Amino acid sequence: MAGAGDTVQNLPVEEAVAGDGVTELEEGSGDSTDGLRHYQSSDFATLQGEINVLHREITSRDILLRKLEESVTRLSEDIAPFKDYVKAKMQEEAHSASSHSSGSSEGGATQDGDQETEEEENNRAQNRCVDVMMSLTEIRENNEEKTQKVIGFYEKIYKASPLTSLMLTFLERNRGVKVLIDCDSHNISNLVRRLVSMDGVKCDGTAFHTFTDFFQCNVYLGGMVWQYKVIECRQYVYKNLDPEVSLAQSLMQMVMYYIFENRGCPYECDDDLYEKLYEKIEQEALQKKDSGVCVDDLIDDALSKKTPLAREVSLISVVPGMLVKYGSKNGMSKLQEKMPFLMLFFMQHVIPKIRSIVDEV
């Protein structure tokens, strides 16, 4: 640091600035500065373009998310009218069952000719569907008793609900599935030794009561009643699962595979809206389960799968499973109570798809 009285020597650049205000160094660097400014301007324009593209992408995603939120909100608002819809469906089904019933009325009077014809048509449709399904079914070490048992499976599924009869009608028209049943076992180990689960785990056939092989278009079923253990009221209890319930679930998984061509998920692979809605339904169901809300065993089993794909494929098949397990009226009531969004998704998205294909054939 210079002290008082010391001589301070100016640098060349400082002297030039003091004299003329512009240095030779500055004059010599003018061209470089102009080039740098041009480069910066060009680079800024490119950057601005990238920012605009990014802004449009973000805006598009925001629009999609906003539409998704609006759809979820509408889905919530639809629960109230959905209850009326389910009630109307139950009344419609009860009326249909009444018109299809055989025999006489309470007073002993017989039904008129039109009602008998309607009943006959319904019986013919059921018999035709069951006959076709039996032609697609292979029973291990078959005999007459086993044949009648399997016919009973299909009849129960068909009669359970108009929704499950529509499912079988689709398979009747499509005829692409093969059903293999072992009536002497509750698992499928005698039908297939090793397989890979939807969670991607290599398993033995003893681990499955039923299994849907999408690649071979095969459904495997252990035809004996399956006893399983669940926790209720903080203690283990044993319950029975009828084979026709499991068969209905596996058949629905195959129907989803045929219709949507998306690994068994109930929406097309490029349908972002329904994919997000279905994921939302699954996540809300998982949150309910994790919070300790009591859910049905079929729902709990579907949500217990390890991977999102396995849960999505299994969850949609809960609907026909519960309709066969509890009957149409009680099954719909339980679904409305436990999984209203799932039932709404099934009624408004899945069923119209199935019906449109059945009507085309």
- Across the chain, which has 361 residues, the per-10-residue mean pLDDT values are 42 42 45 50 57 58 58 51 50 49 40 66 94 98 98 97 96 95 96 92 93 96 87 75 96 98 96 95 90 86 94 97 95 93 95 94 71
pLDDT of residue 239: 82
In a domain, 300, yes or no: yes
Alpha-helix runs per DSSP H in the chain: 12-20, 24-28, 30-77, 79-100, 113-135, 144-160, 162-174, 243-260, 272-290, 297-303, 308-316, 318-326, 328-338, 340-345, 351-360
Q: 178-182 and 218-222 as β-strands: parallel, antiparallel, unpaired?
A: parallel
User: According to the model, what pLDDT value does residue 139 have?
Assistant: 98
Domains identified in the chain, total number? 1
Q: What is the per-residue pLDDT for 8? A: 40
Which tens digits make up the pLDDT trace of 292-318?
Answer: 787 888 999 999 999 999 999 999 999
pLDDT confidence of residue 101: 40
Asked if residue 58 is part of any domain, the answer here is no
Task: For 225-242, give the DSSP string.
Answer: PEEEEEEETTEEEEEEE-
pTM as predicted: 0.71
Element (H, E) at 190: none
The answer to whether position 347 is within a domain reads yes
Has residue 48 been placed in a domain? no
Four-residue CA torsion sign, 327, 332, 334, 339:
positive
**By residue range, what is the domain housing residue 200?**
136-360
Residue 208 within any structural domain of the chain: yes
Residue 246 lies in a domain: yes
CATH of residue 342: 3.40.390
Identify whether 158 is part of a domain.
yes
- 322 is a domain residue: yes
- Confidence at residue 226, expressed as pLDDT on a 0 to 100 scale: 82
Q: Which two tokens stand for residue 15?
A: 């002297």
